[in-house]
Amino acid sequence: MRMVDIIQKKKDGNALTKEEINFFINGYTNGEIPDYQASSFTMAVCFNGMNAQETAWLTEAMAFSGDTVDLSVIEGKKVDKHSTGGVGDKTTLVITPIVAACGVPIAKLSGRGLGHTGGTVDKLESISGLKTAFTTDEFLNIVRKTGICVAGQSADIAPADKKLYALRDVTATVRSMPLIASSIMSKKIAAGSDAIVLDVKTGSGAFMSDLDDAVALAKEMVAIGENVGRTTVALVTNMNMPLGHAIGNSLEIIEAVEVLKGGGDDDLKQVCFALAANMLFVAGKGDMEYCEKLAENAVKSGEALKKLEEMVQAQGGDPACISNNELFPQAEYSYEIKAELSGWISFMDTVAIGEAAAVLGAGRSKKDDVIDHSAGIILKAKTGCYVEQGSVLAVLKTNRKESVNDAERRFLNALKFTDFQPEKEKLIFAHISSNETKYF
């Protein structure tokens, strides 16, 4: 078998066999297939797609390309959560301590930023001393001791995805339904939880901008999970504007802590509580109404915040950061973007806003770029808000003074204004389980 023939076959729009998919994944994982062939292959998949059977084979090959985690040593039903990626999406930082505080063990492997989106591991690393790389034993011990660990994907777990994820990030091959589905589900299968809650984003800041495509992606991932015996449900949620008001690594930790302290923006809270309630539901904690109450009480009682502090401490971080924002790295420059006109914000190109944050240092444009944890954007107005000419739309935080003009131009170009109030958008569009797709 030759990789060049497999690339040609996919480029011609033909379906691959299980052997061909295994050949690619094994060869790429062990270094026999070079990056340039892998990127040509992923580009062919972006253009020509894969059918459900090819996607399932790709997922399986990636899930078993390295070690898998055996969570059976931890008592109780373990539940995982994964987002397809968005801008300002700090839900994992809010939800996992809530769910762990309700007694459901969280053994979660998270990713780094991808494309215009942020990643939980990059965000967590803004906490001084906090480690996200553990051996499997260390990881399991932290979960046993504190009921929660959010770690980075080690090189030994789904290594095929680890390599492909980094490659896709810099070869414009992220936006593809089979590549996203296999990337997410391979990690979730290898990570060993009993149940999985997926947050599939749709809108101008999501990899799937169209609602129908997002629902199709959600259904495909739910089917893959259920086929390998994991209870899997998905929420399709709105990414037509950044979630909450902070974009950038330490800024998002600070905002997540606000929610755990009982504050926070309504959009962020609504999505977080819906996801948390679904996690508690698939963990068997009770009916949905009861699970919603459990999640709310975990915040009201302060238990969820305490759980986050315990997690930070157990992962080697400084828990004082959680109560003192000044302990986070601070950007040298702060710059206000002002509205050029008065009017209603009717649209935000959320990808462009994510890219503006990356230009300031919050994201990567090359595989090896180093993240600036202090950089990012604090939004002062979002879609649906009325702004007066000259009022502050956002505050840019950066150590790269030379990037401010570029980021400001990207940000202003990303907004559209109208002279009438736009209709309020839904935050949650659909709930998908193995037997039902419910639209809201």
The site string for ligand URA over 206-225 (x = CB under 6 A, - otherwise) reads: -x------------------
Strands 231-238 and 195-202: parallel
As measured in angstroms, the least distance from the Cβ of 357 to ligand URA is 17
Whole-angstrom Cα distance, residue 404 to residue 384? Answer: 26
CA distances from 393 to 204, 240, 345, 351 (A): 19, 17, 10, 17
As measured in angstroms, the least distance from the Cβ of 179 to ligand URA is 6
List the catalytic residue out of 10, 108, 168, 382. Answer: 168
Residue carrying the six token digits 């001791």: 145
User: HSE on the CB side for 264, CA within 13 Å?
Assistant: 27
List the catalytic residue out of 10, 78, 81, 82. Answer: 82
Whole-angstrom Cα distance, residue 38 to residue 25? Answer: 9
CB burial class (10 A; 0-12, 13-18, 19+) of residue 277?
buried
The site string for ligand URA over 139-178 (x = CB under 6 A, - otherwise) reads: --------------------------x--------x----
Active-site residue flag, 183 = yes
At 374, the amino acid letter reads S
Q: Which is nearer to ligand URA, 114 or 283 (CB)?
A: 114
As measured in angstroms, the least distance from the Cβ of 81 to ligand URA is 12
Closest to 216 (Cα-Cα) out of 230, 202, 227:
202
Closest-by-Cβ residue to ligand URA is 183
Among 87, 148, 180, 352, binds ligand URA (CB under 6 A): 180
Residues 101-130 that bind ligand URA (CB under 6 A): 111, 114
At 142, the amino acid letter reads I
Query: What does DSSP assign to residue 415?
Result: E
Active-site residue flag, 416 = no
Q: Which is nearer to ligand URA, 81 or 285 (CB)?
A: 81
Among 61, 184, 259, 362, binds ligand URA (CB under 6 A): 184
List the catalytic residue out of 161, 199, 349, 372. Answer: 161
Q: Which is nearer to ligand URA, 142 or 221 (CB)?
A: 221
Residue-wise DSSP of 317-332: --THHHH-GGGS---S
List the catalytic residue out of 112, 187, 188, 410. Answer: 187
Among 29, 65, 84, 238, binds ligand URA (CB under 6 A): 84
Q: Which is nearer to ligand URA, 92 or 183 (CB)?
A: 183
Q: Which is nearer to ligand URA, 41 or 165 (CB)?
A: 165
Among 183, 249, 398, 403, binds ligand URA (CB under 6 A): 183
Q: Specify whether the CB–CB gap between 325 and 373 falls below 8 A.
A: no
As measured in angstroms, the least distance from the Cβ of 410 to ligand URA is 22
Active-site residue flag, 391 = no
Whole-angstrom Cα distance, residue 55 to residue 220? Answer: 9
H-assigned helices in 245-333: 249-260, 266-282, 288-300, 303-314, 320-323
Closest to 276 (Cα-Cα) out of 139, 74, 428, 68:
428
Residues of this chain that bind ligand URA (CB under 6 A) = 84-85, 111, 114, 165, 174, 179-180, 183-184, 207
Q: Which residues are catalytic?
A: 82, 161, 168, 183, 187
